[in-house]
Amino acid sequence: MAGAVVEVDGESSTAAEAVSPSHDRAPDGPRTVVVTGGGTGIGRAIAGRFAAAGDDVVIVGRRREVLASAAAELTAAHGRAVAPVVCDLADPDDVETVLGRLPHRIDVLVNNAGSREAAAGPGPHAVLARWRGDFERNVLTAVLLTESVRDRLTPERGRVITVTSLAALRGGGSYGASKAALHAWNHSLAAQLGPQGVTCNIVAPGTVAGTEFFGSRLNEAELTRRAGRTLVGRVGRPADVAAAVVFLASPEAGFVTGEILQCNGGELLGR
Ligand SMILES: NC(=O)c1ccc[n+]([C@@H]2O[C@H](COP(=O)([O-])OP(=O)(O)OC[C@H]3O[C@@H](n4cnc5c(N)ncnc54)[C@H](OP(=O)(O)O)[C@@H]3O)[C@@H](O)[C@H]2O)c1
């Protein structure tokens, strides 16, 4: 298949070029890309796309071994060194400590780290644990880092892309509420950074299989049920979300900012 000539928009191209569209490779040379939660799932797929495009990628997460093995595998796969940085992004002390290990110039910041708080049950203490947990896991992990490195974003080329969720648009309790908070924050950020030519956008995925997010909750029956809620008859893959992120990071997307790009197979219609 490699090297086969195919038609793309009426122009001849090799198959390799067809799967690696022009916006993958930045015209001004390699970009410096930071992907939070880049050791697993969606974040790892995002990191892989940028590494494949020849960019310099840093992945951030809490588990040293997970990050180290993801970085080693991505480096081997793409021939471009992917650097792991260990940090609990919900902890301001930890964020402050790692600032010196993050690039001084950042072209693309992908706020992908996040998870769902497991605390359950009634009563104010359980409610507090659930809401505070989701806020820390999803809001602080994006906001603490972004606000700390915003001056490092490259003027006229910088991109901030934050991964939220379908839950932010149609409920989802404390998890959905925490992701929805990022939508309001992103709009302010886009207004603040827009004059410098830095865009700030959201990708809001529906169900994505093949990640650690659901643990054992996403069994075959649940997958089938969720696939049935989409218009395309399947749940998402990490690569689907990575493709949306790559588009928003591209030079061609410079006129798109403050936007929410839904990536959910039509499960919720755009608005
Ligand atoms: N899978 C889905 O169906 C789905 C749908 C909608 C939205 N999302 C969102 O997509 C994003 C990626 O999720 P995923 O599905 O790929 O799940 P995942 O495999 O669990 O990925 C989450 C990543 O975030 C990192 N992380 C979590 N908390 C962190 C913290 N405090 N500091 C640093 N890193 C942290 C985790 O690494 P460590 O544990 O090592 O820190 C992990 O690599 C999340 O924001 C999630 O809310 C997922």
Candidate from 24-38, 50-64, 251-265 with smallest mean pLDDT: 24-38
Q: DSSP letter string over 162-200?
A: EE--THHHH--HHHHHHHHHHHHHHHHHHHHHGGGT-EE
Using CB distances shorter than 6 Å, the residues near ligand 1 are 36-37, 39-43, 60-63, 66, 87-90, 112-115, 137, 141, 163, 165, 205, 207-208, 211-213
Domain count, the chain: 1
Is 47 contained in some domain?
A: yes
56-61 and 32-36: which strand pairing? parallel
3-state secondary structure 34-86: EEECCCCHHHHHHHHHHHHCCCEEEEEECCHHHHHHHHHHHHHHHCCCEEEEE
Ligand 1 site-directed mutation target among 65, 211, 216, most atoms within 8 Å of CB? 211
The DSSP secondary-structure symbol of 261 reads E
pLDDT, average across residues 35-62 = 98
Cβ atoms of residues 9 and 19 within 8 Å: no
138 Cα–ligand 1 center, Å? 9
Point out the ligand 1 atom lying closest to the alpha carbon of residue 166.
Answer: 6
Which pLDDT belongs to residue 22? Answer: 43
Q: What value, to the nearest 5°, has the Cα angle with vertex 133 and ends 129 and 135?
A: 125
Res 186 pLDDT > 90: yes
Side chain identity, residue 261: L
pTM: 0.92
Q: What is the pLDDT of residues 196-252, one digit of tens each?
A: 999 999 999 999 999 999 988 899 999 999 999 999 999 999 999 999 999 999 999
The CA distances from residue 183 to 85, 161, 165, 167, 241, in Å, are 26, 11, 10, 12, 17
Is 13 contained in some domain?
A: no
Is 168 contained in some domain?
A: yes
Q: CA 176 to CA 134: how far, in whole Å?
A: 9
Query: Who's near 183: CB < 8 A, 6+ residues apart?
Result: 164, 168, 202, 260
The neighbour count for residue 129, using CB atoms within 10 Å, is 17
Cβ atoms of residues 111 and 160 within 8 Å: yes
Kindly report the CATH number assigned to the domain that includes residue 141.
Answer: 3.40.50.720
Give SS3 for 24.
helix
pLDDT, average across residues 165-194 = 97
Is 4 contained in some domain?
A: no
Ligand 1 site-directed mutation target among 42, 67, 169, 245, most atoms within 8 Å of CB? 42
Kind and range of the H or E element at 263? strand 260-263
Kind and range of the H or E element at 155? none
**36's tokens:** 């939070």
Residue 140: domain span: 30-263
Q: CA 122 to CA 78: how far, in whole Å?
A: 48
196 Cα–ligand 1 center, Å? 29
Which pLDDT belongs to residue 148? Answer: 98
Is 268 contained in some domain?
A: no
267 Cα–ligand 1 center, Å? 21
Q: Kindly report the average pLDDT of the chain as a whole number.
A: 91
pLDDT, average across residues 141-150 = 98
Which pLDDT belongs to residue 26? Answer: 63
Ligand 1 site-directed mutation target among 65, 112, 115, most atoms within 8 Å of CB? 115
Is 147 contained in some domain?
A: yes
Kind and range of the H or E element at 12? strand 11-14
Is 146 contained in some domain?
A: yes
Is 269 contained in some domain?
A: no
